[in-house]
A and B are shown apart, each in its own frame.
Chain A
Amino acid sequence: MKKDPNMENALEMNRRQAIKRAGLMLGAALSASTLSGVAAAQTRAAGAKGKAVNLSAKEFELVSAFSERILPRTDTPGAVDVGVPEFADAMFGGFLSESEEETFRKGLASVDAISQETYRKAFVDLGASEQDAVIQEIAKSNGQDLKSFYRKARELTIVGYFTSEEVMRNVLNYDFIPGRYDGCVPISETGNVLWAH
């Protein structure tokens, strides 16, 4: 998919449309909280914000930083804004198998090892472009464990992001009870935004 240079503007349009739509659908009482949610997302720091239950504090920070580079805050919320790290942490509470947990923890250690090797700093202490360089290296890796980790990290980030209340309600087209099916709708009527489901 080619990106158009005016994408940022288009995204801003999408976000406005999403907020407007949420307001129309949910009524004034709820749209106020929706709007404040989006506003809060814009002012929050990009680092870890929540608290880990199953992961160590250090692991949680690393998951936060890593997932935020996969889906960073732009004019729409980023992974940290919508609770991706908390979702990943919850997955360590009985949802992942023991071997999945082990592979993931080993992967996190590798992320820091690569950061140290290249920049002599932990991943969380790197700047965004350095963090991206580390991720690019991991994406190219042929190591089976590192590959499994990277895929799982992407899966948890993308699933956690797109099944979050904030993204489903305010970023995507949210239609809880559609009530009808229309087979052919011009894309312009949906703002070129995906239906949430």
Chain B
Amino acid sequence: MNIQGKGTKQNTYDAIVIGSGISGGWAAKELSEKGLRTLALERGRDVKHGEYPTAHMEPWEFEGRNRSTQARRARQHKQNRTGYTTHPASAHWFVDDIDNPYSEDKPFDWMRGYHVGGRSLLWGRQSYRYSELDFEANAEDGFGVDWPIRYKDIAPWYDYVERFAGISGTNEGLPHLPDGQFLPPMEMNCVEKHARSRVAEAFSDRIITIGRAANLTVPHNGRGNCQYRNRCIRGCPFGGYFSSNVSTLPAGYASGNLTLRPFSIVNQIIYDNEKGKATGVRIIDAETNEVIEYYAKVIFSCASAVASTFILMNSKSSRFPNGMGNDSGELGHNLMDHHFKVGATGIAEGFDDQYYKGRRPNGIYVPRFRNVSKETTQKDYVRGFGYQGRASRMNWARGIGELARFGSSLKADLIEPGPWRFGIGSWGECLPYHENRMYLNEDVRDKWGQPTVTFDCEWKENELAMRKDMKQSAVDILEAAGMRDIRAFDTVEKSAPGNCIHEMGTARMGRDPKTSVLNKWNQVHGASNVFVTDGACMTSNSCVNPSLTYMALSARAADHAVNELKKGNLS
């Protein structure tokens, strides 16, 4: 193999960050701002803030009115499983499944994009803190291993990343959904406000609050506020929501210490047996197929849970014959995601004279209320779930199924706002099971000759028992909120693991190197200058959306890395 860059000074940096999504963006910002010459490697194309080709397009400007062609669907037959990501408005942010294959022993939806910013451009922007309840969960009920950190360890870092990213929301004073550093909240609409007060009257243990979203309600850190177009997934020209492209990477560039190299597929992290640490990474240039090595004192793997785990598994050496950091045999195991697509909808009456203005890219949130205290302990399952939802007036699409109606009265009716509908869907915690895993597939190779990934993961009894309550409690909440015609749903068949795009856990943090891959600072056991700060590091799943926690852990780990470098502990 002809390897470029071996031992050259120009290929040597202080720090290398693999990946430019939520976690990589934060690592790149923090390391470069703290004075480290940092190289960020992104396997896909560059996307500068503003390079969002569909951001201003209206439905009639898309061929097929933003529907996908059969040919495009065939190329994105797995990415298409979400049902919302592969329309022409956003399909360019998701991979081509033919060029980027993976295998499934059981159904697993691996939704991802290869471009600068990664899924930070595409995320749902819901931003909640894990609580002490979450960090104690594994120790409490015995599933998985104990988190090596507690809420107090991460709380200041939540403050720090919230202040920079800009999270809008309301403090509710709940111990199991900690308050934060919030910008002003978005407004609830009339029906949501009504439901909030009804639910507060009916239940002592549950509330409706406005979603905590990484959308700016006021200008913040040089970025414009949200324009309420609700087209976030296309990329926001106004910088109205947090992404690497508009937030962390520009901060890194401003430090003068950050270099970003797109089209750089990290094939492995290079380990030096004599030095007992990693010395750099080997990449494949996605366009030229050149193999190049880059060197650094510290390496942050932030390529996503699955991709970081892939890189560690593919980084074999005599010290780590089963993959870097895999002394425990846990690398690739304990794969988790949130299970969802269960809940209920109902119709609100008495608000026909009310409407709203603007398209709010955020909904309401019902924080977890099960297994948060002795009184709320469930006998059928451990852990819990929350709800996300919204009330809105139905639009013209309701007319498609009204088969008996057509003609002028149908048209006139569909031009008017339809009935108010309130829908809530639940996001449930999944347990860390050793059997739920990903592993390297040496037989199926990608177009650069690398092994690919196979998933073997499923929901088990605890998740399925929880779903029954997720469904029934949704009905209870909507009834209490005064809704009519309540319909419950549970489309578990559309919620295979991965579909929620919160995959995590495959290189977990822990107290004991015998049962975990990372220590309490996200350092790989046995290769302390390698940090993994994306979803791979998660020891448990919580029921809240995880990105804010990846931000906080990345910033915390970067701070630790710089301190350790200064002390000479990593060299």
A residues sitting closer than 8 Å to B (CB atoms) are 1, 3, 7, 11, 14, 69-72, 74, 76, 78, 87, 90-91, 94-97, 132, 135, 139, 150-151, 154-155, 158-165, 168, 171-172, 175-190, 192-195, 197
Contacts and interface: CB of A to CB of B under 8 A. Distances in A.
A94 B70 contact: yes
Nearest to A78: B411
B65 A163 contact: yes
B359 interface: yes
Interface string B57-68: 011100111111
Given A168-B59, A193-B416, A195-B357, 20 more contacts: A3-B409, A7-B412, A78-B411, A95-B64, A132-B406, A150-B403, A151-B400, A158-B397, A159-B65, A163-B60, A163-B65, A163-B66, A164-B60, A175-B358, A183-B187, A185-B357, A186-B354, A190-B355, A194-B395, A194-B414
Contact of B70 (A1, A97, A161): A97
B68 A95 contact: yes
A176 B340 CA distance: 32
Contact of A151 (B67, B188, B403, B418): B403
A180 B358 contact: yes
A158 B410 CA distance: 10
B359 A194 contact: no
Interface string B89-132: 00000000000000000000000000000000000000000000
Interface stretch (B226-234, B440-448, B481-489): B226-234
Contact of B64 (A70, A90, A150, A194): A90
Contacts of A139: 403-404, 406
A76 B67 CA distance: 26
Interface residues of B, number: 54
Interface string B173-208: 000000000000011111011000000000000000
Nearest to A163: B59
A190 B395 CA distance: 14
Given A154-B399, A158-B400, A181 B228 contact: yes
Contacts of A71: 406-407, 410-411
**Residue in B71, B352, B355, B360 whose Cβ sees the most chain A Cβ within 10 Å:** B355
Nearest to A82: B60
Contacts of A187: 352-355, 417
**Residue in A97, A151, A162, A171 whose Cβ sees the most chain B Cβ within 10 Å:** A162
Given A72-B411, A95-B67, A164-B60, A178 B228 contact: yes
10 contacts: A14-B415, A159-B397, A168-B60, A175-B358, A181-B186, A181-B359, A184-B354, A186-B355, A189-B357, A197-B359
A176 B64 CA distance: 20
Given A94-B70, A95-B64, A197 B400 contact: no
A194 B417 contact: yes
A178 B408 contact: no
Interface in B125-151: none
Contacts of A95: 64, 67-70
B467 to A, nearest CB: 30
Contacts of B406: 69-71, 132, 135, 139, 154
B412 A3 contact: yes
A38 to B, nearest CB: 14
B290 interface: no
Nearest to B68: A95
Nearest to B413: A1
B410 A70 contact: yes
Query: Which 8 residue pairs spanning A and B have beta carbons closest together?
Result: A181-B358, A178-B358, A183-B187, A163-B59, A183-B189, A178-B228, A182-B357, A94-B69
Interface string B387-427: 00000010111011101101111111111111000000000
A132 B455 CA distance: 53
Contacts of A197: 230, 359, 395
Contacts of B413: 1, 3
Contact of B356 (A1, A150, A176, A183): A183
B356 A194 contact: no
A70 B407 contact: yes
Contacts of A181: 186-187, 228, 356-360
Nearest to A71: B411
Contacts of B190: 183-184
A69 B358 contact: no
Contacts of A163: 59-60, 65-66
Contacts of B412: 3, 7, 11, 74, 76
Contacts of A175: 357-358
Nearest to A174: B58
A139 B405 CA distance: 9
Nearest to B189: A183
Contact of B229 (A69, A177, A188): A177
B65 A160 contact: yes
B227 to A, nearest CB: 5
A37 B413 CA distance: 23
Nearest to B416: A192
B407 A132 contact: yes
Contacts of A182: 187, 356-358
A178 B357 contact: yes
Contacts of A69: 406-407
A183 B415 contact: no
